Structure 1
Amino acid sequence: MTLTKKKSPLPLLLGILALAIGGGIGGSWFWWQKAIAPVAAETELETAPFTVESGMGGQQIGNKLAEEGLIKSATAWKVWTKLQQQQDNGGGFKAGTYLVSLDESLPDIATKIWNGEIMQTNFTIPEGWSMEQMANYFESLDYFTAEEFLAATREIPYEKYSWLPKDIPHLEGFLYPDTYKISSDRTNDPQAVIDAMLKSFENIALPVYKEANTDYSLQEWVTLASIVEKESVIQDERPLIAGVFTARLEQGMRLESDPTVEYGLGIRQTADRPLTYAQVGTPSPYNTYRNFGLPPTAIAAPGIASLKATLNPESTEYLFFVARYDGTHVFSRTLQEHEAATRRIRNERNARQN
């Protein structure tokens, strides 16, 4: 067998240089070294975003880089592009937004765009956030308006995520809470953000449900888990809170969960401004003080701990719980015990404030 020695790119490079600028090899090499050098020494800027639009050709990219002062020579860019195409079997530049450091050489910048090393940004969705909270958060980041996000959540992408429950009015509960990294040029597209969160639910939460032995439908599971999420503060209490709600459902009792009332009315109670009797008595599909069973949809984005606790609730005789003002709860077996615990907690709070 005859081995073919791989040719060095240097002769090809020198030949291209000579043709490109019509000079001798020595002069061409000096010009090349100067042309590809970083521009940092000639500007006060350190980094700059640079966007490659879909369909832009290699020379268009080079011309734009030169016009924006990010490289010294569009001709040198053309030389690099020809050399890269010879070596990379017809690869190409990738559309997207890139963070260009001005102490990078032309080949460094070109390689970054050739390889698609797109500028990325992070966003974080905490467990227990509702879609409205997400919408306001994205608006505060200047991604898009809150209304644009909420409108997109009402468009259910069954064609991509056929596992989503049928006939749901929106995606509440299925936008998985996590920290995400996405291309910075997609932050103006609410559907791209939603797609990332649905993929995480599909990859993290959905397998847990499929492996479980449960009578809950997917919608019921997520809905109950969202209530557990909103009621839980202390990690160790999640299975017990899930157990209380499970016991109430099994005994045909109303869930009587404050967060469902808050969600239905679009309000948020605080320690100083708890729900009033009038608010608790206000009719709403989400008012679990008035309605039996689960509300029509989730009320927030449950994290994996609440989702798992809902599938594996703690077996308990407790049917009631009331929040202390430190994140924990007092659990009771009877309504009489519960009412006594509620009065005691409120009296202790009032005494501390006086």
Structure 2
Amino acid sequence: MSTVQRFSKTFFYLALFPAVLVFCAWQGWSWWSWATSPPVPQLSPSEALDTDKTLQIRIPPGSTSKQIGSYLESAGLIRSSNAWDLWARWLNSQNQGVFKAGTYQLSPTQSLKEIAAQISQGSVVQISFTIPEGRNLKQMAAYFESQGFFTAQEFLAASKQIPRDRFPWLPSNLPHLEGFLYPDTYQIASGGITPQAIIKIMLQRFEEVALPIYQQNPQQTQLNLLQWVTLASIVEKEAVIPAERRRIAGVFTQRLQKGMRLEADPTVEYGLNIQQTADQPLTFKQVRTPSPYNTYLNRGLPPTPIASPGKASLQATLNPEKTDYLFFVARYDGTHVFSRTLAEHQAAVAAIRKQRVQQNQGATTKPN
């Protein structure tokens, strides 16, 4: 090959090289644009106008960026997990590549960049949960487990850790936080659902709602904080009709002042971890079973609350009705018969039991 031919060939390749570079860059950019653009969702005709269609995806704690890319690709939220991995590496080089665990509300119409920004900023879904008045720690634990938050055992273990450094008003020598986790509806970021986080926000709500009721009216009661919450928890378990709440609190206050036993069924149930029903009331044996919580056997209040009282029961306990009633027994409609003497009380108990037997007999003999 002559020198001229070799020069011509070399010149040809040199001239071709920029074109190849441009073509490769264009191909790479085309692939990157395709990979990072929102995937076109396969919608049925009825869904074609639903541009707000979103998905919830959970990023477990400890997930790598590669795993997150796989989750997103499998859900149809991004086109390519490889593109995600490249983008995550670039973010990491800019100190922006820390992805946060949690549940995210994402849309197939979002770009890869938008999804990455949302997950790196931790813009998670807010999870709502509700604890009704009168629930105890074991019931809360079972509820949280049923919601998939964490195990019941994890919550019960955390409830025995008393965070007095953050909440110095908590009574000393508490074995657990029974009664001080305020019953309410809460919202918490899905990425922060731990027993400790939930306990913290429930104690904060007690601090905001319940504690001022006591602190602003210290002269209205001779009960200390623990005693106040404990008595309010018993009132919460006994009172079904709001109109009777202050009267029930008044009966218990009277009995305490006279040195009488409270004889409250819910304390026995709590101590034995049982729940009586209309057709299966507490037995004599159960009522006579020793327990620190058995107020049929022990005078005064039990050692801790037996449930989480709501605002109404806390207020009623602080301002009970002035009454000379010393006894009450529940009817089967949620109301109570109140009595001044033991004889009146025993007569009321007998009448209600007789009525229940008659109702059951009528139900069994009712024609088909």
Contact kept, 8 Å, 1:46 with 1:101, in 2: the verdict is: yes
TM-score (norm 2): 0.77
Within 1, Cα distance between the matches of 2:119 and 2:255?
Answer: 58
- Aligned position for 1:322: 329
2:186 aligned counterpart, secondary structure:
strand
Q: Which residue of 2 aligns with 1:298?
A: 305
Residue pair 1:50, 1:97 contacting (<8 A) in 2 also: yes
Say if 1:229 and 1:302, in contact at 8 Å, map to a contact too: yes
219, 222, 226: which one pairs with 2:226? 219
Counterpart of 2:329 in 1: which secondary structure?
strand
1:196-226: CA deviation from partner (whole Å, max 9, x where unpaired): 2212212211122211223221111110000
Verify the 8 A CA contact 1:126 1:177 in the aligned structure 2.
yes
Deviation, 1:36, is 4.9
Conserved 8 A contact 1:321-1:329: yes
The secondary structure found in structure 1 opposite 2:104 is strand
Identify if the C-alpha distance between structure 1 residues 322 and 50 changes in structure 2 by more than 3 Å, giving closer, same or farther: closer
- Give the Cα–Cα distance (whole angstroms) in 1 for the partners of residues 84 and 268 of structure 2: 65
Give the structure 1 partner of residue 275 of structure 2: 268
What amino acid is the match of 2:125?
M
Q: Unaligned regions of 5+ residues in structure 1, if any?
A: 1-18
Which residue is 2:235 aligned to? 228
Q: Looking at CA atoms only, which structure, 1 or 2, has the larger radius of gyration?
A: 2
Give, in angstroms, the shift of residue 61 of structure 1. 9.2
Partner of 1:9: none
- DSSP 3-state at the match of 2:338: strand
2:39 alignment counterpart: 39
* Counterpart position of 1:71: 78
- C-alpha separation between the residues in 1 aligned to 2:265 and 2:60? 50
Contact 1:46 1:102 in 2 (8 A): yes
Matched to 1:208, the amino acid is I
1:148 pairs with 2:121:
no
Amino acid corresponding to residue 169 of structure 1 in structure 2: P
Q: CA deviation at 1:142?
A: 2.8
Q: Percent identity?
A: 53
TM-superposed CA distance for 1:32, in Å, is 7.8
State yes or no: 1:160 paired with 2:166: yes
Q: Distance in 2 between matches of 1:82 and 1:76?
A: 10
**Counterpart among 174, 185, 197 of residue 180 in structure 2:** 174
Equivalent positions of 1:116-135 (< 5 A) are: 116-135=122-141
Q: What is the rounded CA distance, in whole Å, between the counterparts of 2:336 and 2:148 in structure 1? A: 38
In structure 1, the residue matched to 2:57 is: 49
The alpha-carbon deviation at position 263 of structure 1 amounts to: 0.9
Query: Which residue of the partner structure matches residue 16 of structure 1?
Result: none
Q: 1:239: Cα distance to partner?
A: 0.8
1:112 alignment counterpart: 118
Structure 2, unpaired ranges of 5+: 1-21, 45-52, 362-368
Q: Deviations over 1:302-328 (max 9, x none)?
A: 111111111111111111110000000
Task: Quote how far apart the aligned CAs of 1:40 are.
Answer: 4.9
Q: Say whether 1:307 aligns with 2:317.
A: no
Give the deviation of 1:157 after TM superposition. Answer: 1.4
How do residues 185-264 of structure 1 correspond to structure 2 at under 5 angstroms? 185-187=191-193, 189-213=194-218, 214-264=221-271
Instruction: Tell me: CA distance 1:76–1:296, structure 2 relative to 1, closer, same or farther (3 Å).
Output: closer
Instruction: Specify the alignment match of 1:97 in structure 2.
Output: 102
Equivalent residues of 2:130, 2:183 under 8 A apart = yes
Q: Are 1:341 and 2:348 counterparts?
A: yes
How many residue pairs were aligned? 325
| Contact 2:134-2:233 within 8 A present in 1 as well | yes
CA distance in 1, matches of 2:249, 2:271: 21
Moved more, 160-169 or 72-81: 72-81
Residue by residue over 1:218-272, the C-alpha shift from the partner in whole angstroms, topping out at 9 and shown as x without a partner, is: 1111100000000011111111111111111112111110111111112111111
The 2-side partners of 1:284 and 1:79 are apart by 62
Query: For residues 128 and 158 of structure 1, what CA distance do their matches in structure 2 show?
Result: 24
- 1:44-67 CA deviation, whole Å, 9 max, x = no partner? 9962414286797xx879856765
Closer, same or farther in 2 for the Cα pair 1:337/1:158, shift >3 Å? same
Q: Distance in 1 between matches of 2:57 and 2:227?
A: 45
Cα distance in 2, alignment partners of residues 76 and 284 from structure 1: 60
1:287: how far off?
Answer: 1.0
Q: Is the 8 A contact 2:234 2:266 kept in 1?
A: yes
C-alpha RMSD over aligned residues: 3.3
**Correspondence for 1:332 among 323, 328, 339:** 339
Amino acid of the structure 2 residue aligned with 1:216: L
